[in-house]
Amino acid sequence: MLNQPLEKLNERFGKFLVPAILVMFFLVTTAILYPSIKPSVNSYQEGQVAESNIRANKTIENSTATEQKRKLAAEAVSPEYTYQSDLATTQHDLLKNLFTLILKVTTTADENYQKEMQAAKDKSKVTKPTTDELITQLKKKFETVNTDDLDFYQDLTTNFLTTIFSLSSADISNVEQQTLSLVDEQMQAQIKESDLTRVRQAAESKLETSDVSNTEAEAIRYLLTKGIVPNTFLNEKKTTELQNEAKDAVQPVMIYQGEIIVREGSQIDATAIEKLRLLGLTNQNVNYFPVFSLLLTIFLQIAMLIFFVHQMEEQTKRLQCYLFYSSMMVFSLLIMKLFQLFQTNALPYVPLFYPAAFAPLLLNFFMNRRSGLLAALFQVVFALFIFSNTNADIGSNVLIFLLVSYLFSGIMGTIIRQQRISNQGLTALMWLVAFPLLMNIIFIVFQGMSFSSGQTWLAIICGLAGSLLSLLLTVGLHQYIELLVTDDSVIVLNELSNPNHPLLKRLLEEAPGTYHHSMMVANLSANAVADIGGNSLLTRVACYYHDIGKLKHANFFVENLPAGAENPHNFLLPEDSRDIIFGHVIDGAKILEKEKMPQMVVDICRQHHGTTLMRFFYVKAKERNDAVKESDYRYPGPKPQTKEAGVVSIADSCEAAVRAMDQPSNEKIKAFVSNLIKDRILDGQLDESGLTLNELRMIEKSLINGLCSTFHSRIKYPKMKSEAEQMKEEQEKNGE
């Protein structure tokens, strides 16, 4: 399978892996298609494959490359900044002095008012100083400040001054304290112009947690914009000097006489073209529009591929799609080129042998329908490049016939259901063979071709052969491609279901009860999953290994205890028993991952208990300590994420519980299964599985039939001690 190699490649190359795949795809596609549109006159142009080594005819400086390297060197230089730490003190002093002046004005005005009140006979004629008067007095005070600081004070807005003089002296002092504290804190760090908004917002955020009124907060916010200023500035002179030094350190890029510019068989890229231009080797005028259009077509294909693959969530799935699509398209183009070699004037319809539905069909099966449609469209476009410039004079009618046939067959490959084609029978035959054949006949009629002509019947036979070839190739290669693309192919699952598999043999030898329980759960689950249209083979294999973690402590699970043996959990604390039983899920997943089992098998191992409650040990723990939480005795989960996992979860608990029943009857089994499914629904265990109520009814019916046919005449085994038997029943009811 491709998952593990892709993961290793992704770990090694990281973000360069996808570009490497796409570049390789681009190069290979171009190499395949270029000979079909290669101009008859050779010239050195971008995109051309050199027929022989192209060497430099003289020694010359590659000025473009030199300038590019110098530019890159200059851009790599980190800008130099100058930090002015004294600005913090300056801003503090400016704000401190502002509040000193404000308090002086308010204090003086208040004292004068009190004196006037004492001296006045008619106190009603004495008025308090207005805000405008206070602002005027403050501005007079500004005239006494240092000339260098005058701009700071003159820029204060009337709004701010009005707000500040509306506060009491105590409030002004509070504003002063808060402002200076926030400004001092922020100005200690280096602040660039680009950081200013963020730093001010940070200061304002801290203000929101302080105990100030709205008016005070308004004044503080304004002062923060005045007090917090950049203290780190770009040193343009120093930066320019460093950039010039970096440029001067770059050595000129030289092209030396005799140097190989482009090797034989290599594509002439933009860099090589620039070198050839400097050497004066690109003076020939040749029409390269077909080459240009081909490159644009490939770029468009890659762009569309990137666009829809980018919407996939899983990185591994993305890589698979890139690699699988590229491989299928390259394979298709090679086959197309092969049939072009046999095309002659006498046999113009031979390319209809090309299996046009093959690549879209496989992409539809193993990736998604959109990748299949993309392949169906672009193989037609590439066919235009291949067959429009062939040595055979086939004419436009034959070319159109080929393109329409390819397009119709390719789209038919994407319409078919995403199931194994061998299971679709007549449906697949109609979509892939019958309908394309009818379309070819319709087009023959449209072109007025005579059915008495050998060319007409050649076209029909070749088209039919191509459709059959698509079908046969898909049927024959499906399981092998599945083995590469997925980790749960039929071949892998059949191998894992072999009783001689080392893990199954070990399970049978070390935990025979668990082994037989797993076999029973596999039969029950596979039948139920088949009824709802799921993957029954995968479910069966997952059931074989779902309890593999019990190997670690096999004798701590009641199904593995010899008859009459004392249950070891009787001698353990509830939390110890809980950890052991929890461990079989965690340990099982680790074992399966180590064995590189299919991901679905690992997931079902993790999910087959969901987050159900281990009720027996929870109750025992609760009796010992009332503070015990129910969540501590729930399985770690996750809850079943697929329909198959949901079925296994139900079947596992049902089989274990019915096996432990005393004289199970059909009525008891039916009631138990029904109640268990209801309990799982109410507990939310099936919420994420995707199972519908109708499917749950089908599952219930299948499980009841399977359990009744197995246990209706079950022999009653000797009982263990009463407490041990009770523990066994409780554990197996909850799937331990």
What's the rounded mean pLDDT across residues 391-413? 79
* pLDDT (0 to 100) of residue 53: 67
What's the rounded mean pLDDT across residues 85-97? 85
Which residue is it, tokens 């940070």?
Answer: 202
- Please tell me the distance from the alpha carbon of residue 285 to that of residue 370, in angstroms, as a whole number: 41
What's the rounded mean pLDDT across residues 201-213? 81
For residue 411, the surrounding DSSP H or E stretch is helix 395-415
* pLDDT (0 to 100) of residue 321: 84
663 — pLDDT class (breaks 50, 70, 90): confident
* 553 phi/psi in degrees, rounded to 5: -135, 60
- Number of Cβ within 10 Å of residue 518's Cβ equals 25
* pLDDT (0 to 100) of residue 10: 63
pLDDT tens across 266-311, in order? 888 878 777 777 776 665 545 577 788 889 999 999 999 988 888 8
What's the rounded mean pLDDT across residues 428-436? 86
pLDDT tens across 248-269, in order? 888 888 887 657 778 777 888 8
Question: How far, CA to CA in Å, does 339 sit from each of 329, 469, 661?
Answer: 15, 13, 69
* pLDDT (0 to 100) of residue 528: 93
- Number of Cβ within 10 Å of residue 457's Cβ equals 14
Nearest to 487 by CA among 575, 329, 396, 596: 596
Q: Where is average pLDDT lowest: 2-11, 66-75, 570-579? A: 2-11
User: What residue ranges do the domains of the chain occupy?
Assistant: 3-39+288-485, 82-234, 492-733
pLDDT tens across 627-650, in order? 888 888 888 879 999 999 999 999
pLDDT tens across 488-544, in order? 677 788 888 888 888 989 888 888 888 898 999 999 999 999 999 888 889 999 999
Has residue 736 got a pLDDT over 80? no
| Arithmetic mean of pLDDT over the chain | 81
Has residue 125 got a pLDDT over 70? no
Can you list the positions of beta strands (E) in 473-610? none
CATH fold of 492-733: Hypothetical protein af1432 (1.10.3210)
pTM (2 decimals)? 0.53
**Between 562 and 338, the higher pLDDT residue:** 338
* pLDDT (0 to 100) of residue 642: 92
Structure tokens at 349: 């319809």
